[in-house]
Amino acid sequence: MFRGSITALITPFKNGNVDEKAFQEFVDWQIKEGTHGLVPCGTTGESPALSHAEHNRVVELTVEVAKGRVPVIAGTGSNSTAEAIELTRHAKQVGADAALVVTPYYNKPTQEGLVLHYLAIANAVDLPIIIYNIPGRSVVDMSIETMEKLANHKNIVGVKDATNDLTRPSRLRLSLGTEFCQLSGEDGTAIGFLAQGGVGCISVTSNVAPRLCAQLQDAWHLGAYEDAFRVRDILTPLHQSMFVETNPSPVKFAASLLGKCEPDVRLPMAPLKLKSKARVEEAMRDAGLLN
């Protein structure tokens, strides 16, 4: 259903507001560069700093530009189940193809709580749901056993795995088969994740290197492994630079170097330090993205 290089979209700001023009131009550029899918309002899109109205508007803007050319997987997660249902309903109403729902952060639910949370959303909205498992930010790790239970629901179709555990996709594939969509949530593990049974990556780096990230995924799926490895080696230093400070400050700065947006982030995110800026710019040049 969903595969390849899927961009976790940044949200451009200008004078404190969402820069709608820059955002829609950015989304169109992403599609023209070969990106296979789009995720608005994820972590990289600074969803915790968006108002509900802004969140909904960003999803709408993405769907408007995509026009069915690539799937739109709207970030609709929350640590409030009722809020997640509300955001997921809106995503369905405006034409998103799926929802990316993060495990509830701060609440620290049990595995049973996770099951009840996701089932409540899946029962309330008839839209494909991809579980976003990111223990580093949510402080809760959904077990494979819990994921297996949830996969029985027709609307729960896959996972974005940001655990950095490359045994997980193969273990989950053995129990759920190939229909359950497994996407890496870590750029640096993209090829390892594919080799272990995944089908793609929800990427930060593809904000600034969409063509390269798409080429890596295309090469792998075509069996052109040497080409995939060549692109991997170009991208690896760039992946590392995107996390020299907390995401999305580095990728926002990198996008600004391409003239795609202002480097502005919202508090409590901080502007990139000078040393980090130099590292990002160097990685961009080495990858051939800047003259």
Q: According to the model, what pLDDT value does residue 153 have?
A: 98
> How far lies 74's CA from each of 9, 58, 105, in Å?
10, 9, 18
Return the closest-CA partner of residue 151 out of 142, 140, 141.
Answer: 142
Residues 6+ apart with CB under 8 A from 35: 5, 6, 7, 70, 206, 210, 213, 214
Domain layout of the chain by residue ranges: 4-233
Q: According to the model, what pLDDT value does residue 291 have?
A: 83
Task: Please identify every stretch of the chain with a pLDDT value under 70, giving residue numbers as ranges.
Answer: none
> How far lies 103's CA from each of 125, 151, 155, in Å?
17, 15, 16
What CA–CA distance (Å, rounded) separates 141 from 136?
Answer: 9
Measured at the CA of 247, the angle between CA 82 and CA 273, to 5 degrees, comes to 140
Catalytic: which of 132, 252, 260, 277? 132
Q: What pLDDT, in 10s, does the model give residues 91-131?
A: 999 999 999 999 999 999 999 999 999 999 999 999 999 99
Q: Is 21 a catalytic residue?
A: no
Q: Is 225 a catalytic residue?
A: no
Q: According to the model, what pLDDT value does residue 1 have?
A: 76
Cis omega (within 30 of 0) for bond into 268: yes
Q: For residue 103, give the DSSP letter.
A: P
Assign domain 4-233 to its CATH architecture. Alpha-Beta Barrel (3.20)
Catalytic: which of 67, 92, 106, 160? 160
Q: According to the model, what pLDDT value does residue 79 have?
A: 95
Rg, Å, the chain Cα set: 18
Return the closest-CA partner of residue 31 out of 82, 57, 67, 81.
Answer: 67
